[in-house]
Chain A
Amino acid sequence: MSEFDVIVVGAGPAGASAAIRLASNKVNVLLVDRADPPGSKNVSGGVLWGDSLGQVIPDWEKSNMLERYVEAKGVTFLTKDSKISIDFRSKKFGEYKSGYTVLRTKFDAWLAKKAKDAGAMVASGVTVDKIAMKDGKAIGVEQAGETITSDAVILAEGANSRIAYDSGLKKKPTDEKIALGVKEVIKLPEKTITERFNLTSPKMGFASEYVLGFLDGGVKAGGFLYTNKESISIGAVISMGDLRKNNQTYSFNVIEQFKDHPFIAPLIQDGRVEEYSAHLVPEGGMSVDSVYGNGYMIAGDTAGFTFSNGLVLQGMNYAIVSGIVAADSFMEKKGKGPDMNFANYGENLAKTFVMKDMKNFSGIDRVTWSETIHNTIPAIAEDAMLNIFSEDGNPKKHLSQIVLSSALKHKDKRKDLAVDLYRMIRRL
């Protein structure tokens, strides 16, 4: 007889959602996190997109743990001298659901409390060393030389997946499978944020992704800037491969270059940096050979469930859905004999957007980290905009002429451009 029905490792959105779902269904579950309080080592941008959380916490949108509702979504290219952006705002974001900005330390502690309230046992400050295996089946977790037993383990330890590596469930990431996220939380008055970003109320927020095409040494990174109630989350997601190739740019200075950009600096002006943080970001889709095995399931970042196409950066929604599906897959097996091989988790997950997106958008990282996106397109756009929006006393040209001549200026990259544009259209 096991001590627990299920042990969930990691109190992030994936683990907590799984624990809430299980505990709400009278499953004897232990949610264990190595941070104390739970979640206090977790970091994300972070916007929680969609309403997946409603599946486990129906009234979650009433929570005061949410920062601002995203009513304005930006996509921006930054060159050394220019900013080219889409600033999309829509009253329809109310019905279509965009997302909420969150600060994870507070938010994840709240999720863990929800799990506890539902009946889960929550152990914080406890580091699991390994999944305990016997005859090829997970029988619990190993912690400080002891085994805590369970019928199933849900592994949701995040992107830095030590347990998965040490248990032989996941290979260490290559440069292509991981990016480095570096972030700062900058304090500003609520009113200043609302006014500075032209938001319709203090409950409403702005979230933008940036292509940083101006970094020293040609390092590639994406930027993000999200408004919280009384702070701004700003950060850079840096390509590990590029940083390595460059080998002279310090990762911690990339975010400072972003902050110092002439059109970003005014947005954070007079703000006080309250926190600096860093976290790995899974890239390029699923990162494990299998998301399940005998006695265990893998959810969230540990499985590589994130999505990025340069327009949006998502992860928490994938984490939540995978956690819930893992919980449901356990309940399908519960009380029906000793078989705990969770092939049903794989099948159930395949029916959700999580796996469908992983499949449909595999290889998208080749677009998002391409020269074309980071350098060529911003350069062409800058050139074209300068032509269109300035008046130099010469006769005006057709738009197509302007764009073509701007593109021709970068003709050494045109072959790349044609290939990448084709890939982009196909893969985006």
Chain B
Amino acid sequence: MMKIEDRLSLLNYKIDKSYAHITVNPSICETCPDHFCTFACPAKCYTLIDEKLNFKYEDCVECGTCDTACSHGSVAWTNTKGGHGVKYKFG
């Protein structure tokens, strides 16, 4: 089984250092009973570290899954701007 980290390393990103296009609300995530985002996100942007939710937008492939996955209203999703974000070679 190919590790997700190895698969993500194949991708090209133009990372927007000044703008996180997705943000989460830590106070909601803290009391979340399921953390379904950690299973749903295909780019493993959501992980649990010491039972605390950790989110990084840099690996995001902009699918929009987390916005549907989170049923607790923590995820605020916007489009990347200025051509930033994932850039596929094949699609």
- Interface on A for B, CB 8 Å cutoff? 34-36, 39-44, 103-108, 124-127, 129, 144, 159-160, 162-163, 172-175, 178, 180, 182, 184-185, 231, 233, 240, 243-244, 246-253, 256-257, 259-260, 273-280
Contact = CB atoms under 8 A, between A and B. Distances in A.
Given A35-B83, A43-B91, A105-B91, A172 B67 contact: yes
Contacts of A42: 88, 91
A275 B80 contact: no
A162 B79 contact: yes
B78 A162 contact: yes
Given A34-B80, A252-B7, A252-B43, A277 B88 contact: yes
A318 B91 CA distance: 19
Contact of B43 (A127, A173, A278): A278
Contacts, number: 142
Contacts of B63: 160, 180, 278-280
B1 interface: yes
Contact of A103 (B80, B85, B91): B91
Given A175-B68, A278-B65, A244 B40 contact: yes
A16 to B, nearest CB: 14
Given A127-B80, A162-B77, A252-B4, A180 B88 contact: no
Given A243-B36, A252-B7, 6 more contacts: A127-B81, A175-B68, A233-B90, A243-B39, A280-B63, A280-B64
For chain B, what secondary structure do more than half of its interface residues adopt (helix, strand, loop), or is it mixed? loop
Given A124-B83, A231-B90, A251 B2 contact: no
Interface of B: 1-2, 4, 7-8, 10-11, 34, 36, 38-44, 61-65, 67-69, 77-83, 85-91
A106 B90 contact: yes
A44, A184, A247, A277, most chain B CB atoms within 10 A = A277
A246, A252, A257, A278, most chain B CB atoms within 10 A = A252
Nearest to A180: B65
Nearest to B65: A180
Nearest to B86: A41
Nearest to A185: B90
Contacts of A36: 83, 87
B11 to A, nearest CB: 7
A105 B89 contact: yes
Contacts of A257: 1
B91 A44 contact: yes
A298 to B, nearest CB: 17
Contact of A240 (B34, B62, B69): B69
Contacts of B69: 240, 244
B44 A252 contact: yes
Contacts of B1: 253, 256-257, 260
19 contacts: A34-B79, A43-B88, A124-B83, A125-B82, A126-B83, A160-B67, A172-B68, A240-B65, A243-B36, A244-B69, A250-B38, A252-B43, A256-B1, A256-B2, A257-B1, A276-B11, A277-B11, A279-B63, A280-B64
